[in-house]
Amino acid sequence: MTRFLAILKDSMRETIDGKVFLAMIVLSSLAILLAASLSFTPKPADTGLSAMTDEFEKIPLASFDRSYAIQYEISDFKQLNDARKPWNGEYSFRLTARDAKKFPFKLLVMFTGMRGSRRNPEQSHQDREEIIKIVTEAQGKPQEEQEKYIEEKLLQKMQRVKAEQLEEYIFDQYTDRGNLEVTSVKSAPTPADEKGLYAFDIKAKGKANTYNRWPHDVGIFFGAWDLYTEPVGVAVFDIEKWAVGYVGGAIFLLISSVMTAFFIPNMLRKGTVDLLLSKPIHRWSLLLLKYFGGLLFMFLNTVVLIGGFWLVMGLRSGIWGWTFLLMIPILTFQFAIYYAVSTLAGVLSRNTIVAILAACFTWAFLFVLGWMFTLSKPVPGRESSKFHKTVKVIHKITPRIGDLDSLSTYVIRADLLQEDNFQKEQSRKAVEDISWPESISVSLIFIALLLGAACAWFSTREY
């Protein structure tokens, strides 16, 4: 046991004392310093509520063509308590919604309600059944008449949308987009000559986690340059997702794989390997301890990057997403996959360049494989293509990097968005749909096979 600890200690010393480790610490520190310069400035109450309405659900075309976007406006704004922080306030105001040039407000309400309403699930179910019935009836008509039939029926149904359904939509939107406690939504009269105009008198107040959904101006370099306006929880999620989940999870892993690729070839250099093999320890034990030394390199760097990023984001934004720290073991496990490839390549070739290329190729291959697997999935009800079946077989027997990416997205979102947030529900569903015993087992078997092959080769070669 003492011999094992001595070799492991040597691996730790090699990891921590190396210039490569210091270089990675410097890169991580620069990323953390940049994150520390971010600023999050809350919007005042009235403009904050207006910004929330900009987040209301839209049809996809509205993102590209403003003629499909419903127009909202807040007026008669009043604060009903003396809360200093806007997310703790209690407010009354009037919201007006105007039909878009190419899309009526009632039709948006009707389609949105089909996905479900908290206060009136029966109405949502009824709307859904009626839409399905209209589409089914259209399918029995000639091709050239189907579109016109659906349009006419939808317009008829739209005219039957009640005021209560409009109020329900406004209630759900402020609850979802702002995480507000909406205490009252009542339809208000509009001028008779104003077609396509709807008004609502609303009372709402902040509740637990409203702060995470409150619109903030996000700036960089300590507010010197404003970037955009977004709910602070969403802004923190986007920053952590791109800076750590995507950039860190991809580039940081790739850089670490490159920088640790020389560990094994260096160990196999003449003189170094002779000294190591003279010690009373099995060769496979020696190689595995060197492998764990490489994992320690990644683990310590990830602790600095993730821990530092979590600390400065918490201090700058006021949001402390504890589950974000789970990125440390997730990224370390992903690295273990690439480093197993690098270890085998290093043992076989004793060449650092070959080990680097092997790790980079594996990184690219698994990324492209996961991308092709997702894009080639058939529409429900249709048969899989031969291409998808082939990709599925390869995907099934190789590490599921995409599954770990889905887990990364969820753990970042977990503390930043409210429980009933649509994005969070999507992330949770994606994680729940994954067979984790199978996914983790395949990755562990992949690592074990590569390390087993490396140990077998190292144990039988003459040096």
Tell me how crowded residue 62 is: count the other CB atoms within 10 A of its CB. Answer: 18
- pLDDT (0 to 100) of residue 44: 93
Q: Are residues 296 and 331 in the same domain?
A: yes
| Tokens 């260096």 sit on residue | 266
390/366 same-domain check: yes
Which domain, by its residues, includes 190? 44-213
Arithmetic mean of pLDDT, 214-227: 88
Rounded to whole angstroms, the Cα distance separating 182 from 170 reads: 9
Q: Which residue, 85, 84, 105, is CA-closest to 173? A: 105
Question: How do residues 350-365 score in pLDDT, each as one tens digit?
Answer: 888 888 899 889 888 8
Encoding tokens for residue 372? 């092709």
Q: For residues 6 and 68, state if they share a domain.
A: no
- 28 and 51 assigned to the same domain: no
Regarding whether 374 and 348 lie in a shared domain, the answer is yes
Check whether residue 123 and residue 241 sit in a common domain: no
pLDDT exceeds cutoff 80 at 406: no
Q: Are residues 245 and 159 in the same domain?
A: no
Q: What is the DSSP string of 92-126?
A: EEEEEEE--SSS-HHHHHHHHHTT--SS-HHHHHH
Band (pLDDT 50/70/90 cuts) for residue 67 is confident
Residue 191 CA to its chain's centroid (Å)? 45
Helices (H), 140-252: 143-159, 163-178, 210-213, 232-240, 247
Rg over alpha carbons for the chain, rounded to the nearest Å, is: 28
Confidence of residue 198 (pLDDT cuts 50, 70, 90): very high
Domain endpoint, select from 175, 195, 213: 213
Which pair of structure tokens corresponds to residue 7?
Answer: 């070799």
Domain shared by 58 and 29, yes or no: no
Helices (H), 203-252: 210-213, 232-240, 247
Q: Check whether residue 309 and residue 444 sit in a common domain.
A: yes
155 and 267 co-located in one domain = no
Residue 19 has pLDDT above 80, yes or no: no
C-alpha torsion 125→130→131→133, nearest 10: 130
Residue 294: what are its φ and ψ, rounded to 5°? -65, -40
258/163 same-domain check: no
Per-residue pLDDT at 429:
66
- Statement to judge: residues 166 and 195 lie in one domain: yes
Number of domains the chain contains: 2
Choose one of 161, 187, 213: the last residue of a domain: 213
Which of 197, 213, 229 marks a domain boundary? 213
**Which tens digits make up the pLDDT trace of 311-337?**
999 999 988 888 888 888 888 998 899
pTM over 0.85: no
Which of 322, 426, 427, 416 is CA-nearest to residue 40?
A: 416
Q: For residue 460, give the nearest of 303, 223, 277, 338 by alpha carbon.
A: 277
Residue 98, strand partner residues = 71, 197
